[in-house]
Structure 1
Amino acid sequence: MKVPTMLLAAAAIALLPATAAVAAPAAPAAGTATVVAKYTFDSAADTVSDASGRGLPLRLRAADGGTVKYVTKGSGRALAFPARCAENAAKCPRVLLEGGDDQDLDPGTKPFSYGLTLAATAQAVGSESNLLQKGVADAQGQWKLQIGGKKKLPSCVIAGAGKGAKRYMAKSSTGVLDNKWHTVTCQRTATQLIIWVDGQNRGAVAVPSSVSISNNLPLRVGAQNLNAKRTAFGGAIDDVTVSVG
């Protein structure tokens, strides 16, 4: 469902710090990687265009009257999701950003990276939040960035195609839920899946070079899907970036 422009508020919210806490690189050294999608949220609109010129736009889908806010971040803006509701709430205002099935976001066995910057508290995450993903497990394969677990740590997940395919998870050794801006990037190399937090390697797991990720599902930001109240993210994000190569 399309979110009317009139529901998009360009105002600051209490969730965010007045200034960014870090100025870390958005990803490890890019080398020969090609940015295939980048969303900066600097323009308030019903759809979010891709700043790289290669990816598909993201459209805002809402349920139960959910709205987003565009908030000041540095010289630009970031996007803040609705506050997370109780998981058993009958009415749960929420918003999901969804793109199309972009083949540039299907890396196969190639090295690639994906990530974003975020500002959030533990309350904005709840028991689990899906920040960024394409694909689902036990199907055509997926890549995902999430926050959850007992310690509410960010983690990167990839899985190959097929029911029962092994999932590989790189969990960060440090948290990010201090209401300050942090950059989290997942990097799949020829042999590893690495999670970078504010430019520092905070965890890795070995991944066979044969694991291939390619699916016909859309890029989703902010939740597993629009019906998944449990995985909805209630914080703010900026600079969603995907690179391949």
Structure 2
Amino acid sequence: MRTRGRYAVAVTFSTAATLVATAAGAGAAVEAPAGHTVARYEMNEPAGARTMLDSSGHGLNGVVGSEVLTGVGVGGATGYRFTRLEPDTPPTHPRHLATVAGAPELNPGNRDFAVTVRLRTQYHFGNIVQKGQATVGGGNFKLQIPNGIVQCLFRGDRGSVIVSSRSRLNDGAWHTVRCERVESGLSLVVDGRTEARRSGRTGYIANSWPLSIGGKTSCDQENVGCDYYAGDLDYVQLETR
């Protein structure tokens, strides 16, 4: 969802170098000016929309599954609603997701990278946004909300680092969460307040998987849970610097 006059979901880099992958292949990068927006999903589409528009101008549009409710208005915002599904209970619900094809521009590479989301939920589980999964070659990143605590994880060829919010965010109010990966570690900012920092080098991250919003794309609800998110999203933004 997006409050009028606010940015939507975006990913950003926080250093002076921005990962801008070229058509040469996944993870290929050149440097770009600080504050470069890779993709921005405002989630303002009307009810029944099945295309998630990238307002950055880069054309990284996504597909909205038929189980995702669009055009939902809550507290002055218009966005997407992901209804609750029973955890680890078959069958799978691939139409519960919004996905963007695995464009190389969406890979962090070895540059600074940030993911920002605005969310509202009363539930205590689920993967909010991710690219890749735990066993994927090339690494992965994700925001998740186990026990109502938002966690951010980046895993690359040098290691894995995770940071967690100090308080539970499943109180039914809107919260803006930003996770930023730099060379030396991760930081997590909630509603403008830095809640966590952790040092550790994650290294290079580049995979061919889609950007997935609302859960995992590869799962069976038996051996691998789909971790479906339940709640509302106002926006998602990806940036580089």
Decide: shared fold, TM above 0.5.
Answer: yes
Residue 146 in structure 1 maps to residue 144 in structure 2: yes
* Aligned match of 1:182: 175
* Aligned match of 1:237: 233
Per the TM alignment, residue 87 of structure 1 is displaced from its structure 2 partner at its CA by 3.6
Runs of 5+ consecutive residues of structure 1 not aligned to the other structure: 1-15
* Aligned match of 1:221: 213
Q: Structure 1 residues 201 and 29, CA, compared in 2 at 3 Å: closer, same or farther?
A: farther
Which deviations, in whole Å up to 9, do the C-alpha atoms of 1:9-33 show, x marking residues without a partner? xxxxxxx9xxx8xx9xx99996822
Which deviations, in whole Å up to 9, do the C-alpha atoms of 1:81-130 show, x marking residues without a partner? 122235436686961111011211112111110021001012xx3xx311
Residue 79 in structure 1 maps to residue 71 in structure 2: no
In 2: Cα distance, 1:170 partner to 1:73 partner: 29
Residue type at the aligned position of 1:219: L
Q: How many residues align?
A: 212
Residue type at the aligned position of 2:144: Q
Per the TM alignment, residue 59 of structure 1 is displaced from its structure 2 partner at its CA by 0.4
SS of equivalent to 1:136: coil
In 2: Cα distance, 1:38 partner to 1:225 partner: 21
* Aligned match of 1:42: 44
Residue type at the aligned position of 1:42: N
Per the TM alignment, residue 228 of structure 1 is displaced from its structure 2 partner at its CA by 5.5
SS of equivalent to 1:194: strand
Percent identity of equivalent pairs: 26
Q: Structure 1 residues 175 and 93, CA, compared in 2 at 3 Å: closer, same or farther?
A: same
SS of equivalent to 1:70: strand
Per the TM alignment, residue 61 of structure 1 is displaced from its structure 2 partner at its CA by 3.0
Residue 196 in structure 1 maps to residue 181 in structure 2: no
In 2: Cα distance, 1:185 partner to 1:91 partner: 29
Which deviations, in whole Å up to 9, do the C-alpha atoms of 1:29-75 show, x marking residues without a partner? 9682211111111122111110111151110235xxx3424212465
Per the TM alignment, residue 166 of structure 1 is displaced from its structure 2 partner at its CA by 3.1
Per the TM alignment, residue 132 of structure 1 is displaced from its structure 2 partner at its CA by 0.5
What TM-score do you get using the length of structure 1 for normalisation?
0.76
What TM-score do you get using the length of structure 2 for normalisation?
0.77
The answer to whether the 8 Å contact 2:70/2:81 transfers is: yes
* Aligned match of 1:136: 133
The answer to whether the 8 Å contact 2:139/2:155 transfers is: yes
Residue type at the aligned position of 2:180: Q
Residue 120 in structure 1 maps to residue 116 in structure 2: no
Which deviations, in whole Å up to 9, do the C-alpha atoms of 1:174-202 show, x marking residues without a partner? 22100010011110123120111111111
Q: Structure 1 residues 236 and 42, CA, compared in 2 at 3 Å: closer, same or farther?
A: same
* Aligned match of 1:172: 165
Residue from 197, 207, 216 that aligns with 2:200: 207
* Aligned match of 2:27: none
Residue type at the aligned position of 1:170: V
Runs of 5+ consecutive residues of structure 2 not aligned to the other structure: 16-33
Moved more, 44-53 or 87-96: 87-96
Moved more, 99-108 or 223-232: 223-232
In 2: Cα distance, 1:152 partner to 1:225 partner: 22
In 2: Cα distance, 1:91 partner to 1:191 partner: 37
Higher RCO structure (Cα 8 Å, ≥6 apart) = 2
In 1: Cα distance, 2:94 partner to 2:59 partner: 28
* Aligned match of 2:64: 60
